[in-house]
Structure 1
Amino acid sequence: MRIGIIGTGNVGTALARGFVGAGHDVVLGSRTPDSPPNGLGAVGDEVAVEPQGQAAEDGEVVVLAVPGGAAPVVAADLAGHLRAKPVIDATNEYPEATAERSLAARVADAAPDARVVKAFNTIGAERMTAPEIDGERATMFVAGDDRSARETVTTLAADLGFDPLVAGDLGAATHLEHLARLWIHLSADRGRDIGFRLLRE
C-alpha cells in the first residue's frame, strides 16, 4: 500500500519507518521538502519527501501527523486530495481540548469527502514501531464511521505489531483523545515506554 504521511516530526517519521519495515511504500509530505527530515534512520533512502499536497495526492491512505491545532487547517488545505481516501488522524491536543468537538470530527468537517479514522494517537512515537512491552502487545484503538476505512487502519496497526481494536464510530475519537492526554500525563512520571492494553476473553 502507498501511504502518504503529512508531517515530518517524531510521529510522522516513526510511522514512516514502521510502514516501510512492514513492506509499504511511504511518501512524506513536508512544508520544506528540500530539507531532509531527521528521524528516518536506515529507511531514509526508501522514503520520498514531497510537498504536502503531492504526498496527499499520491497516498492511497493518508496520515495526518501534524501538531493537533494545525490538523483541521491542514485537512482543509488538502481536502481536494483526500476525497474518498482513508485519512488517519494521529493528532492530539494537550493539556486540554480547545473545542467541544474532537480533533477528528473537526478534521472530518474540514475534509468532508475523506473517510476519517482516529488512530495512532494513544502511544508515544518511541513505541510506534515497537509496541510490545513486557511481552504484551499494546492495543491500538481505532475509531471511524466508514467500515472499510477502519478495516484498512486496523490492518496497518497490526502490520506495526499492535493489537488493533475498533473503539466505535468517529464519535469515539473524543475518548481516544482523552486517553492520549492520560498517556501524556502518565508518561511524565513513568517514562515514555508505556502503552495501554485492553484485556478481554
Structure 2
Amino acid sequence: MEQVTIIGSGHMARAIAVRMLAARHSVQILGRNGEKTRELVESLGAGAQGGGEGAAVEGGIVFLAVPYGEGRNTVLVYGEALAGKVIVDISNPVDLAGFDRLLVPAGTSAVEEIARHASPDAHVVKAFNTCFAKPLEAGSVAGLPLDVFIAGDSEQAKVKVSAVVAASGLRPIDVGPLRRARELEAMMLLVMGLQASPNQDNFNWDTSLKLLP
C-alpha cells in the first residue's frame, strides 16, 4: 500500500483522495484551513488522516492540489521536507478572468516553475491537470477509465505515479519529459475556455478528455 499526501482541501483534493482510497492507499490531507481539512478527512472515512500546513509529510508521493500561484509557495514552505519525494503538480496557469491566456511566459510551464523552487532532491511530475473534479472522483467517462497524462524527467517517478493512477482505476499515459507539460497546460487553456463560454451549450465542468480507441 502506497502512502500518499495531498496538500489542499478543495474539490480536486477530494477527487484525488477518493481515487487513492479506492486503490487502498492511505491518504494524508494537509490543508491551510483546519475546519475544511477536518471536514474533508471525516467525509473520506477510513484510510484518511489530516494535518495543518507545515505538518510532517508522510507520503512518498505528494499531490499539490492547489491553484496555480500557490504551488511554488507550497514547495518553498515545505522545503527539504519534500526531498526524496515525488511531487505531482495538477495546476493550470490559466487566467480565470477571461480564460484567454496562460499566466506563464512562453516556453515554460507552471510545473517547471515549481521544479525550479522545489528541493533539488525532489522529483517533480505533471499529472491530473487535464481532469476535472467530478469525473475524476467518478473515475470514468462514458463507461471508460479516465485518462491521466503524465510528464516528468524522472522515469522512476513517472513509474510510481503511473502505478497509483492505474491502481485507482484510471489509465496513465506517459507523454514524455517535464517540458511536455507546456502542451498539457496549453491544452487546458482551450478546454477551460470552452467550459466557461456562454456560446458553448454542449460543454460544462464535467467534461473529460479521453483518447480513443
Tell me whether the two structures share a fold, i.e. TM-score over 0.5: yes
Q: What is the rounded CA distance, in whole Å, between the counterparts of 2:209 and 2:41 in structure 1?
A: 25
| Contact 2:29–2:37 (CA under 8 A) maintained in structure 1 | no
Matched residue, 1:86 = 86
Question: Displacement, 1:34?
Answer: 5.1
User: Are positions 1:186 and 2:194 aligned together?
Assistant: yes
- 2:138 match: secondary structure: coil
For residue 98 of structure 1, the aligned residue among 81, 96, 103 is 103
Is the 8 Å Cα contact of residues 6 and 64 (structure 1) preserved in structure 2?
yes
Indicate which of 166, 175, 182 corresponds to 1:174: 182
Alignment-derived partner of residue 196 in structure 1: 209
In structure 2, the partner of 1:29 is 30
Moved over 6 A (4+): none
Whole-angstrom CA distance in 2 between matches of 1:187 and 1:30: 28
Deviation at 1:38, TM superposition (A): 4.6
Match in the other structure for 1:52: 53
TM-score between both structures, scaled by the size of structure 2: 0.85
8 A Cα contact 2:111 2:126, kept in partner: yes
Q: What are the Cα deviations for residues 135-179 of structure 1, in whole angstroms up to 9, with x where unaligned?
A: 233321000000010011111221232221101110011111112
1:133 lines up with 2:141 in the alignment: yes
| Mapping for residues 117-128 of structure 1, pairs under 5 Å | 117-128=125-136
SS in 2 for 1:53: coil
**Rg larger for:** 2
The one-letter code of the counterpart of 1:71 is G
d(CA) in 1 for partners of 2:172, 2:204: 23
Query: In structure 2, do the counterparts of structure 1 residues 32 and 135 end up closer, same or farther at CA, with 3 Å as the change threshold?
Result: closer
Moved more, 78-87 or 39-48: 39-48
Residues 40 and 187 of structure 1, relative CA distance in 2, 3 Å threshold: farther
Cα separation, 1, equivalents of 2:142 and 2:208? 10
Structure 1: how far apart are the matches of 2:61 and 2:88? 8
Using the TM superposition, give the Cα deviation of residue 46 of structure 1 relative to its aligned residue in structure 2, in angstroms.
3.6
1:66 maps to 66
Q: Would the aligned equivalents of 2:31 and 2:37 in 1 still touch at CA under 8 Å?
A: no
Q: How well do the aligned residues superpose, as a CA RMSD in angstroms?
A: 1.9
Task: Kindly state the Cα deviation for residue 45 of structure 1 after the two structures are TM-superposed.
Answer: 5.0
**Equivalent residues of 1:16, 1:40 under 8 A apart:** no
State how far apart, in whole Å, the 2-side matches of 1:185 and 1:123 are.
Answer: 14
Structure 1 residues 27-62: Cα deviation after superposition (integer angstroms, max 9, x where no partner): 10111335545555742454211123325x211110
Q: TM-score, normalised by structure 1?
A: 0.90
List alignment gaps of at least 5 residues for structure 2. Answer: 96-100
* Paired amino acid for 2:111: A
**Aligned-residue offset at 1:80:** 1.0
The corresponding residue for 2:98 is none
Unmatched 5+ stretches in structure 1: none
What percent of counterpart residues are identical? 30
Task: Identify the range of structure 1 (111-120 vs 90-99) with the bigger mean alpha-carbon deviation.
Answer: 90-99
